[in-house]
Structure formats: C-alpha cells, structure tokens
Copies of this chain bind each other. A is one copy, B any other.
C-alpha cells in the first residue's frame, strides 16, 4: 500500500527562504530595494539570526538577492547571467565534450532564420548598434583575437532584433560555448576577412529590411565557418564523430 509521503517538514531556513522568495515573486520588493536587516528579520520571523542568514544565503545562491557586507541585502534585478550560467553548465555536463562541429551545425540552421526575422523586425536602434559594431570590428582587422567578442555581439544583437524574447535567451549559452572554441579556428586563413565581409552584407540587408537576402548571406556565413572548422579538424587530425 502506498501512503502519501509525509511532507518532510522543511527546515526553518527553508520556510523563511520561501516566504521571502514569494514576497519577491509578488513584487512586494523591487530590484534594488534593501531588505530589512538580519536582526530585524529575525525578530519579525521570531527566529534566530542564524536561520535568517541561512535563508539569505540560499536566496543569494539562487541569484535573487545581493548581499553586501556592512551595508545590507538587496534585491538583485534578474540577471541574465544567473540564468544562463546553470544552463551553460548543463550543456557542458551533458555533452561530455561539445565539439566545434556540433556548435556550428546548430548555428547553421538557426542563425539564418534569426537573420531573416531580424531583417523583418529590426529597428533603428539595432541598425545603429550593428553599424558601430561593424566599425569596431574593421578597426581591429589586424587583431583577430579582439574581433571575437565583437563578432559574437553582432550575432547576439541580431538575435535580440528578432523581437522574440526566447531567441536571445537560447542563443546566449551557445555563444558562450562559442567563446571557448572559436579562438582555435578564428585566426585561420582568411576567416576574419570573410566574417567582416559577411557582417557588412548582413548590415545592408538589415537596413534594406530584406529577410530573404539576410537568410542567404547568413547561410553562406555559417557554411564558411563550418568549412573553417573542418579545415581545422583535418589539420589537427581530429576524428569527426557525427
């Protein structure tokens, strides 16, 4: 016979953590607000400072509050990093080792659609950003390692420009992984030159709001990137698994 498991009584600190978390969730506190001091909270909850502190630690682990020594505890605005970090960790764990090839093959079919959507929905602010981004990138034509960040920012902005909030959140961990691997292939042959050229063309498509062309160019961009990865693999005698 199956009995319902007795709800194992939560610890005090868990109860307190839950209460504060719910309060935050219900927007009783706004990001940046300061929580009452530990002592005050302890008195309000009728528990010791210890219990309150542990609750606050848990909340800080969740990234919901920001504890500053000597000052106080503050509600932290929801940080993209705190969400993407575990996500990224999950990727890292699950994949054992993710290869550049896996990455580029995902981007290969996602990024063209991002470009297409971006060309449709991008606004002037996006175009301005991309313009500046392109200028920064071409300024560093001699220093490929400095281009990487800017390159990735370009793609991330496209993801944001789609006006679909799910897309940038999904792409962020992918770009984060990209950072890890791209350095190996980026310096290769004329990769930076080609990337620069592709970004220029993509910018044109954004300005013209031409989804079809944007998608096509991005496809080419990705195909070239894949080519560079494959060259790199061949050069270093790396087995292609999948």
Chain A residues within 8 Å of B, Cβ to Cβ: 11, 13, 17, 25, 53-54, 57-63, 69, 78, 80, 82-83, 86-87, 89-91, 93-96, 98, 102-103, 105-106, 109-110, 113, 121, 163-170, 173-174, 177, 242
A102 and B164 CA atoms in complex are apart in Å by 6
A89 and B59 CA atoms in complex are apart in Å by 14
A59 and B63 CA atoms in complex are apart in Å by 11
Residues of B within 8 A of A91 (CB): 165-166, 169
Q: Is the CB of B87 within 8 A of A83?
A: yes
Residues of B within 8 A of A106 (CB): 164, 166-167, 170
A110 and B109 CA atoms in complex are apart in Å by 7
* Given A13-B57, A106-B167, A110-B110; 9 other pairs, CB 8 A cutoff: A11-B69, A58-B61, A63-B86, A78-B94, A83-B86, A83-B89, A94-B165, A95-B165, A102-B165
